């Protein structure tokens, strides 16, 4: 009884016309748009591990959706819907109300519906969200397409969430608790970016995944890293630590040819895009500042995440 009343009370809002059958039956039913491929991903958040136990449940709801929409965006796809697998130690109505509100707030902001899931009791609060999206057949942007001479770009600013984690109560904690998936930019990059990843484990490590998959190297210019005012005023080493190794940014990092970069900048963008480096042949990640090689000091950064 409890399980069904939780689903009905908190997770059974209207689905909208693009869902044939949503919450309430054994499975959801969707009609794929013509000439589109399904893009699908899942992410699990465990209380006490991925977020502190006392985190605002509204933020947990938002973030559990946002991190998945970020993965959909990183393929260049349009997010469509999510499923929620929820394991709860006990029924706490205040918590469920705020959590579901945060979840639906993120869904509403990005035009996504909750179409199903699972609700169970377990000793640990665990949330697993599966997100579905659509992309024109053959157009998904993988990690493997970076080409020699491509620019490397990143959206927004990097390192803010990591700073927020270390400084609870600071305004930048908002970037940790309420990440903004770059859904619109991701779709604008379809046909333009040659490879893409969303930055969840730190820029250096995540860019490393692109380089490995694409079998190329890159040089990043430390002077070009897009930083918030707070980070810009920190000493160099701290600033770069947050920007390169801090997690939870949920910005998009992508490679793009110089011609396509010009085309991108001619479109209206709802987030800043910054060129931070370039792809080259040697299979390493180099860092330069003022044209001087800083690689030695920063090699270890991949391991801090
Ligand atoms: P079954 O036993 O057939 O797996 P359930 O009783 O688990 O079905 O779920 C009933 C319906 O409620 C299904 O449509 C399922 O997708 C949905 N559902 C269950 N838990 C959630 C949840 N946390 N959020 C959204 N939908 C849910
Ligand atoms: Mg069933």
Can you give the residue ranges of every domain in the chain? 3-136, 151-294
Nearest CA to ligand 1 atom 2: 26
With a cut of 90, say whether residue 225 has pLDDT above it: yes
Q: What are 87-101's pLDDT values in tens digits?
A: 999 999 999 999 999
Q: What are 24-79's pLDDT values in tens digits?
A: 999 999 999 999 999 999 999 999 988 888 899 999 999 999 999 999 999 999 99
If you average pLDDT over residues 140-163, what whole number do you get? 98
* pLDDT for position 282: 81
If you average pLDDT over residues 100-115, what whole number do you get? 98
Locate 215 and state its tokens. Answer: 């079998």
Locate 46 and state its tokens. Answer: 């465990």
If you average pLDDT over residues 283-289, what whole number do you get? 90
* pLDDT for position 298: 58
Distance 23 CA to ligand 1 centre (A): 6
Query: For residue 76, is it left (φ>0), alpha (ψ between -120 and 50) or beta?
Result: left
Tell me the best of 1, 6, 7 to mutate to test the pocket of ligand 1, counting ligand atoms within 8 Å of each CB and taking the most.
7
Distance 25 CA to ligand 2 centre (A): 7
The model's pTM: 0.95
Distance 3 CA to ligand 1 centre (A): 9
Q: How far apart are CA 49 and CA 229, in angstroms?
A: 29
- Ligand closest to Cα of 15 equals 1
Q: How far apart are CA 165 and CA 156, in angstroms?
A: 18
* pLDDT for position 190: 98
- What b/e readout covers 137-163, taking b as 16+ CB neighbours within 10 angstroms? eeebbbbebbeeebbbbbbbbbbbbbb
What element of type H or E holds 73? helix 57-73
Distance 33 CA to ligand 2 centre (A): 26
Q: What are 160-199's pLDDT values in tens digits?
A: 999 999 999 999 999 999 999 999 999 999 999 999 999 9
With a cut of 60, say whether residue 22 has pLDDT above it: yes
What element of type H or E holds 160? helix 160-166
With a cut of 80, say whether residue 149 has pLDDT above it: yes
80 is in an annotated binding site: no
248 is in an annotated binding site: yes
Distance 288 CA to ligand 2 centre (A): 57
Question: CATH fold of 151-294, please?
Answer: Phosphoribosyl-aminoimidazole Synthetase; Chain A, domain 2 (3.90.650)
Is the CB of 293 within 6 Å of ligand 1? no
Nearest CA to ligand 1 atom 1: 26
In CATH, the architecture of 3-136 is 2-Layer Sandwich (3.30)
221 is in an annotated binding site: no
Check: CB of residue 116 under 8 Å from CB of residue 247. no
Q: How far apart are CA 84 and CA 11, in angstroms?
A: 9
Name the more confident of 145 and 53. 145
Is the CB of 107 within 6 Å of ligand 1? no
Q: Which atom of ligand 1 is nearest to the CA of 85?
A: 23
Nearest CA to ligand 1 atom 20: 118
- Ligand closest to Cα of 86 equals 1
Is the CB of 24 within 6 Å of ligand 1? yes
Report strand pairing: 36-46 vs 126-136.
antiparallel
Is the C-alpha dihedral spanning 156, 158, 161, 167 positive or negative?
Answer: negative
Cβ within 8 Å of residue 155, ≥6 positions away: 182, 185, 251, 252, 253, 271, 272, 273, 274
* pLDDT for position 297: 59
* pLDDT for position 16: 83
With a cut of 90, say whether residue 204 has pLDDT above it: yes
Calculate ∠ Cα 135-140-146, nearest 5°: 160
If you average pLDDT over residues 224-248, what whole number do you get? 95
* pLDDT for position 303: 41
Per-residue HEC secondary structure of 98-121 comes to HHHHHHHHHHHHCCCEEEEEEEEE
Cβ within 8 Å of residue 154, ≥6 positions away: 199, 203, 225, 226, 251, 252, 253, 254, 273, 274, 276
* pLDDT for position 302: 47
With a cut of 80, say whether residue 20 has pLDDT above it: yes
Distance 18 CA to ligand 2 centre (A): 22
If you average pLDDT over residues 246-271, what whole number do you get? 97
Calculate ∠ Cα 71-72-75, nearest 5°: 95
With a cut of 50, say whether residue 305 has pLDDT above it: no
Is the CB of 129 within 6 Å of ligand 1? no
What element of type H or E holds 162? helix 160-166
Confidence of residue 296 (pLDDT cuts 50, 70, 90): low
Check: CB of residue 179 under 8 Å from CB of residue 277. no
Name the more confident of 302 and 147. 147
Report strand pairing: 78-88 vs 292-293.
unpaired
């Amino acid at each position: 009884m409890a399980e069904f009343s939780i689903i009905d009370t908190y997770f059974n809002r209207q689905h909208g016309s693009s869902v044939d059958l949503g919450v309430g039956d054994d499975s959801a039913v969707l009609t794929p748009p013509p000439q589109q491929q399904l893009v699908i991903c899942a992410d699990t958040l465990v209380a006490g591990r991925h977020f502190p136990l006392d985190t605002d449940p509204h933020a947990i709801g938002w973030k559990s959706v946002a991190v998945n929409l970020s993965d959909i965006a990183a393929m260049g796809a349009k997010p469509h819907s999510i499923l929620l697998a929820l394991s709860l130690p006990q029924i706490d109505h205040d918590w469920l109300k705020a959590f579901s509100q945060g979840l639906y707030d993120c869904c509403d902001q990005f035009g996504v519906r909750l179409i199903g899931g699972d609700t169970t009791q377990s000793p640990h609060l665990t949330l697993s969200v599966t997100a579905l999206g659509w992309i024109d057949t053959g157009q998904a942007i993988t990690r493997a397409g970076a080409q020699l001479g491509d620019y490397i770009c990143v959206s927004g600013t990097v390192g803010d969430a990591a700073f927020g984690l270390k400084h609870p109560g600071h305004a930048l904690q908002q970037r940790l608790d309420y990440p903004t998936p770059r859904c619109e930019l991701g779709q604008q990059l379809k046909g333009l970016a040659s490879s893409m990843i969303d930055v969840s484990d730190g820029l250096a490590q995540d860019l490393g995944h692109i380089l490995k998959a694409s079998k190329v190297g890159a040089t990043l210019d430390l002077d070009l890293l897009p930083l918030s005012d707070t980070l810009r005023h920190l000493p160099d080493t701290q600033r770069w630590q947050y920007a390169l190794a801090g997690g939870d940014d949920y910005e998009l990092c992508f490679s793009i040819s110089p011609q396509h970069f010009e085309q991108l900048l001619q479109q209206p963008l709802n987030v800043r895009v910054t060129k931070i480096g370039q792809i080259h042949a040697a299979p390493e990640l180099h860092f330069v500042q003022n044209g001087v090689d800083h690689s030695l000091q920063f090699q270890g950064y991949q391991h801090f995440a």
